Amino acid sequence: MPSSATRNRGRPRQRSKQAIVSAAALLIAVTLGRVTGGFAQTGYDRPGGDYTSASVANGDPMVCAARCERDKGCRAWSFSYPSGSGAPAMCWLKREVVPPKESSCCVSGVRGAGVIEPKAGAIEYSIDRFGGDYRWFETPPDAKGKACAEACQNEPRCRAWTYRRPGYGAASARCFLKDVIKPPRRRPCCISGVVR
């Protein structure tokens, strides 16, 4: 009968092989995620491949990503923001990973990817700077809140702004100009920025 030292000699080698296999699997998953557009992105839809859909009462795309995580048949998902006509925010789960297409209506991703907001300098996606408003106005829907940012840039009194998408509390998109910089709060309804 072999001694315990002889029996355990192969175990460290086996553990290092498992670690190498795990690291390789993680590297492959990350690489495939990048190649197939694996990270969820605001401003993209994945049309086709749907097998179920449901409304999202709070209008948060993270709810859709979580639904896909819990459903073993889900490979990808698309979330659409609520509309000014009263249609609710919707989540579509997909059996296949379809390529993303640029669309301001939506956020989409694949299973295993969280929601990554675009980074565009001073523009803060999914951020509301509630309060400090000195005026607001209705504005056409805009995936980046450009008209709101420009209005704030053109008014010396304006220090910050928040663009609220249509369907979040009002049928129309609204721009709120602020003379006080309020702390940022994560809310999928909004895009904000600080100017001065």
Tokens of 104: 């301001």
Tell me if 30 is assigned to some domain.
no
Q: What is the pLDDT of residues 135-171, one digit of tens each?
A: 999 999 887 899 999 999 999 999 999 999 999 988 9
Per-residue pLDDT tens over the stretch 18-37: 444 333 333 333 333 333 34
40, 65 in Cβ contact below 8 A? yes
Q: Which residue bears the tokens 């948060």?
A: 60
Please check whether residues 111 and 135 belong to one and the same domain: no
Are the C-beta atoms of residues 169 and 84 closer than 8 Å to each other? no
pTM over the 0.85 mark: no
Q: Which residue has the tokens 């003379």?
A: 179
pLDDT at 175: 97
Domain assignment of residue 12, yes or no? no
Specify whether the CB–CB gap between 165 and 189 falls below 8 A: yes
Q: The dihedral of CA 93, 98, 101, 107: what is its sign?
A: positive
**Maximal CA-CA distance, the chain:** 87
**Strand-strand pairing, 160-164 and 133-139:** unpaired
Cβ proximity of 134 and 76 under 8 Å: no
Q: How many domains does the chain have?
A: 2
The per-residue pLDDT string of the chain (196 residues; one tens digit each, 9 = 90 and over) reads 555 444 445 555 554 454 443 333 333 333 333 333 445 678 889 999 999 999 999 999 999 999 999 999 999 999 999 988 889 999 999 999 999 999 888 999 999 876 666 666 688 988 999 999 999 999 998 878 999 999 999 999 999 999 999 999 889 999 999 999 999 999 999 999 999 7
Whether residues 171 and 131 share a domain: the answer is: yes
- Could you tell me the CATH number of the domain that includes residue 142? 3.50.4.10
Domain that holds residue 166: 123-194
Residue 3 lies in a domain: no
**What is the secondary structure of the chain as a DSSP string?**
---HHHHHTTHHHHHHHHHHHHHHHHHHHHHHHHHTT-SEEEEEE--S-EEEEEE-TT--HHHHHHHHHH-TT-SEEEEE---TTSPPPEEEEESS-PPPEEEEEEEEEETT--EE---BTTEEEEEE--S-EEEEEEE---TT-HHHHHHHHT-TT--EEEEE-TTSSSSSEEEEEESS-PPPEEEEEEEEEE--
